[in-house]
Amino acid sequence: MEQKNLSAELRTETGKNQNNRLRKAGFIPAIIYAHGKAEAIKVPQKEFNKIFKGHISESVILNVNIAGGTNEMAFIKDYQKEPVSGDITHLDLYKVFKDEKINTKVEIHLTGVAKGIKMGGVLEVYDRFIEIECFPMDLPEKIEVDVTDLLLNETIHAEDLKLGDKIKILTSPKTMIAAVHEPKAVEEVAAVETEAVAAEPVVAKEAEDKK
């Protein structure tokens, strides 16, 4: 499990105008919540950007140090982004507790070179995230999937992942993660040839009828 420290401050004023002022001052408006209770906070934008470096992940546990308040463990449950600049405009932080399991998404990283590629196939990735349930201390930063033994026309499904007894996979077992297929160009040529062969008897019959 990867943990990062993030400072924060409580905020008492909310609303669109106040949030815009916070952003201009270099803060991201946020809420931190759990079990139906929420607190309005603000976090330094530069500090947040330094932690995630443009790639926000639910699999990072944050030690949120709230000035004048408490230290909380939390992860990013949701966020809003300005469509043009890409700046984060709001954060939803979900508190976690060491003795309570959490449901979250973890990114999948493929490793190795599939044997099917050496046979002329193409590796296709279908899902780059998987939903899991585990205790916070068992949360992996990422899940590595070795595709080395994947042959032509073989597929890796969610049910094929071996994550140990401490992690429960919530994603549907039949969800495809990755597969090696024949190149589409080859498939299209084969389809055209099949159609041509199927049409030949019809052409021959029409020629027979004209005699």
Burial of 98 (0-12, 13-18, 19+ CB in 10 A): exposed
pLDDT score for 204 = 47
Secondary structure element (H or E) that encloses residue 134, with its range? strand 129-134
Amino acid sitting at position 15: G
Q: What is the pTM (predicted TM-score) of this model?
A: 0.73
pLDDT-derived band at 56, boundaries 50, 70, 90: confident
Tokens of 70: 């408490």
Tokens of 21: 């002022």
pLDDT tens for residues 18-34? Answer: 999 999 999 999 999 99
pLDDT tens for residues 58-105? Answer: 889 999 999 977 899 999 999 999 888 889 999 999 999 999 999 999
Q: Report all structural domains of the chain as residue ranges with CATH numbers, in order of start.
A: 2-96 (2.40.240.10), 103-186 (2.170.120.20)
